[in-house]
Amino acid sequence: MNSEEDFVALSLAQNGEGYSQEEGHFLFDEPDKPLTEHAAESHEGEPGYMATAPDIRYDAGMLRGESIQQRVLRVRASDMPLLEAAQPLLLALSQMPETVNRSEQAALLKEGLRNEISLFTLVCDETDISWKKMAIVRYCLCTALDEAAHTRAWGLTYGWSQSNLLNHFEGDNDGGNKFFLLIGRLSMNPQEYADVLDILLKILNLGFEGRYSIIDDGERQLTRIRQRLLALLQNGRDCAPQALSPHANVTRETQRRKSGFIPARVSVLITGLLVAGCFLTYKYWLAIPENRLSAELIGLQQHPAQQAPARLRLSVLLRDEIARNKVSVDETDRDSKVTFSGDYMFAVGAIDVRADIVPMIKRVAEEITRVRGQVNIVGFTDNTPIHTRTIPDNQALSVRRAQRVAALLNQFGVPESSVRFEGKGALEPLATNETPEGRAQNRRVEISVKY
Q: How confident is the model at residue 131 (pLDDT cuts 50, 70, 90)?
A: very high
Task: Determine contact, residues 69/126, Cβ cutoff 8 Å.
Answer: no
- In our burial notation (b when 16+ CB lie closer than 10 A, e otherwise), range 261-283 reads eeeeeeeeeeeeeeeeeeeeeee
Give the pLDDT mean for 412-425: 94
Per the rule left: phi > 0, alpha: psi between -120 and 50, beta: everything else, 24 is left
Is there a contact between 443 and 342 (Cβ–Cβ < 8 Å)? yes
Beta-strand relationship, 444-450 and 335-341: antiparallel
Degrees, nearest 5: CA angle 122-128-134: 60
Inter-residue contact 369 to 414 (CB < 8 Å): yes
Alpha carbon distances (Å) from 195 to 5, 130, 235:
22, 11, 14
Q: What are 346-390's pLDDT values in tens digits?
A: 888 888 999 999 998 998 999 889 888 899 999 999 999 988 888
- Rounded to an integer, what distance in angstroms lies between the CA atom of residue 219 and that of residue 437? 42
CA distances from 257 to 251, 252, 253, 260 (A): 10, 9, 6, 7
Q: Give CATH superfamily name and number for 315-450.
A: OmpA-like domain (3.30.1330.60)
What integer pLDDT is reported at residue 61 of this predicted model?
Answer: 42
- Backbone dihedral region for residue 282 (phi beyond 0: left; psi -120 to 50: alpha; all else: beta): alpha
DSSP characters over 98-157: S---SHHHHHHHHHHHHHHHHHHHHHHHHTT--HHHHHHHHHHHHHHHHHHHHTSHHHHH
pLDDT at 424: 93
Span of 79-88, 221-230, 335-344, 379-388 with lowest mean pLDDT = 335-344
User: What is the strand order of the sheet 335-341 is part of?
Assistant: 327-331, 335-341, 444-450, 374-380, 419-423
* CATH domain 3-235 topology: 1.25.40
Least confident of 171-175, 210-214, 234-238, 345-349: 234-238
What whole-number distance in Å separates Cα of residue 114 and Cα of residue 310? 33
pLDDT-derived band of residue 241, with 50, 70 and 90 as boundaries?
Answer: very low
Q: pLDDT tens across 51-72, in order?
A: 333 333 333 344 444 478 888 9
Residue 390's alpha-carbon distances to 265, 343, 366, 424, 428, in angstroms, are 107, 20, 32, 18, 24
> Given a cut of 80, is residue 303 above it in pLDDT?
no
Q: How many angstroms separate the CA atoms of 151 and 317, rounded?
A: 11
CA atoms within 13 A on the CB side of 19: 19
List phi, psi (to 5°) of 247: -105, 10
Amino acid at 286: L
d(CA 203, CA 136): 13
Pairwise CA distance, residues 438 & 202, whole Å: 48
Instruction: Please tell me the distance from the alpha carbon of residue 235 to that of residue 438, in angstroms, as a whole number.
Output: 63
Return the pLDDT at 307: 55
Q: Where are the domains of the chain?
A: 3-235, 315-450
The vertex-135 CA angle with 225 and 36, nearest 5°, equals: 170
